[in-house]
Homo-oligomer: A and B are copies of this chain.
Amino acid sequence: MNDSKLDFKLHSKDGHARAGVLNLKGRTIETPVFMPVGTNATVKALTVDELKTLGYQLILGNTYHLHLRPGDETVRRLGGLHRFMNWNRCLLTDSGGFQVFSLAKLNKVTQEGAFFQNHLDGSNMLLTPEKSIEIQENLGSNIMMVLDECLAIPSQKEKVKKSIELTHHWAKRSFAARKSENNLFGIVQGAEYPDLRLESAQMTCEIDFDGFAIGGLSVGEESELMYEIVSRVSPELPENKPRYLMGVGDPLDLIHCMEQGIDMFDCVLPTRNARNGSLFTFNGKISIKQEQYKEDPRPVEEFCECEVCRNYSRAYLRHLFKANEILASRLNTFHNLWFFKKLMEKARKAIVSGRFGEFKADFLSDYCQ
């Protein structure tokens, strides 16, 4: 059997929430799954061995960043992204579109693609659907994403209408451009308009993608709007394929959106927050730099079994953070990614045992106290 093609099986459902198994590259990925972000061929501050210790099977790489530096051709010549970064598990790459629309200086968007100046040396570049697929194939991604247009929320409805057609046009071209057997996911757009979101979902689902993503959310809108869009779009996506909510997120968003049937998530939140001294616990977030932790001998989270909580006190983590020590970022990142892994495991267990509602209520009660 060709194990480069993903095989997704639903294990059980609890309401709309789904517990599944995604087999890929000989690896078993239990869903719902959270994917840490490894922008520059590294999940910031961690080694791949630590990601394995944490139990992650699937991480994300950024097409835009890797295309600019070190260059996808360089990565290809060095044996692909897995080998380059010494990660033998699974990799998903985005299309680069989101960074072109947020990080770079966007010049213009045409049918052909997105013209922009990159944020590193300001040189002019063009990202087309075909180029994005070529880059992702050079990287050797296991799950590639189509190029899509990302709009702000709110956006004018007429603009969004045109945009989802462009995204659909790009989706077809992306699908046709694929030369490898790597998996490819389509992306539903449509900003804040439920009717356009449904139209986009319908168009996207006409193409035989290996999975379907909802993009253009978590861009500053109210959580309630995000949940509303997800609850409308998710049921329109094929039951037998994975559903991926891009760029989400916050533990509360994860819980609410897996309740709506989302299987996959990614976000820089646990890693970025870690570097800013913000630590996740099941009793809510704590800011480790606070004076109250100066002589606090307790671990970040009592009863947490992660290496950080077993070995270091809040007082020590606060000290490292205040002294701007690299070890602060390391230990904080490790703990946060441990928390996210445990959160997903607990949620999945609750779905499997048919008590997701109870789990959600308990989690919210502790986390939002």
- A residues near B, CB below 8 A? 40-42, 44-47, 65, 69-70, 74, 77-79, 84-86, 294-295, 297, 311-313, 315-316, 318-320, 322-323, 325-327, 329-331
A47 in contact with B327 (CB, 8 Å): yes
A311 in contact with B86 (CB, 8 Å): yes
B45 in contact with A327 (CB, 8 Å): yes
B322 in contact with A78 (CB, 8 Å): no
List chain B residues, Cβ under 8 A from A84.
Answer: 313, 315-316, 319
Which of B44, B77, B315 is in CB contact (< 8 Å) with A70?
B315
B42 in contact with A325 (CB, 8 Å): yes
Which of B40, B315, B325 is in CB contact (< 8 Å) with A78?
B315
Q: How many copies does the complex hold?
A: 2
A295 in contact with B45 (CB, 8 Å): no
CA A320 to CA B311, docked complex, whole Å: 28
List chain B residues, Cβ under 8 A from A85.
Answer: 316
A362 to chain B, nearest CB (A): 32
B325 in contact with A40 (CB, 8 Å): yes
A295 in contact with B86 (CB, 8 Å): no
List chain B residues, Cβ under 8 A from A295.
Answer: 74, 77-78
- Closest B residue, CB atoms, query A71: B294
A41 in contact with B77 (CB, 8 Å): no
CA A235 to CA B323, docked complex, whole Å: 41
* Top-7 shortest CB links A-B: A40-B323, A45-B326, A70-B319, A42-B327, A86-B311, A42-B325, A78-B315
List chain B residues, Cβ under 8 A from A74.
Answer: 294-295, 315
- Closest B residue, CB atoms, query A297: B78
CA A319 to CA B40, docked complex, whole Å: 8
List chain B residues, Cβ under 8 A from A329.
Answer: 326
B86 in contact with A319 (CB, 8 Å): no
- Kindly list 17 other residue pairs between chains A and B, CB separation below 8 angstroms, not including A42-B325, A65-B323: A40-B319, A41-B319, A44-B325, A45-B327, A45-B330, A47-B327, A70-B315, A70-B322, A77-B295, A78-B297, A78-B315, A78-B316, A79-B297, A84-B319, A86-B312, A326-B329, A330-B330
- Closest B residue, CB atoms, query A322: B69
- Closest B residue, CB atoms, query A313: B78
List chain B residues, Cβ under 8 A from A77.
Answer: 295
CA A77 to CA B318, docked complex, whole Å: 15
List chain B residues, Cβ under 8 A from A323.
Answer: 40, 65, 69
CA A79 to CA B295, docked complex, whole Å: 11
List chain B residues, Cβ under 8 A from A315.
Answer: 70, 74, 78, 84
CA A45 to CA B323, docked complex, whole Å: 12
- Closest B residue, CB atoms, query A316: B84
Given A85-B316, A315-B74, A319-B70, is A330 in contact with B47 using a C-beta cutoff of 8 Å? yes
CA A318 to CA B78, docked complex, whole Å: 13
A-B contact pairs, 14 of them (CB 8 A): A40-B319, A41-B316, A41-B320, A42-B320, A44-B325, A44-B326, A77-B295, A78-B315, A79-B297, A84-B319, A86-B316, A326-B326, A326-B329, A326-B330
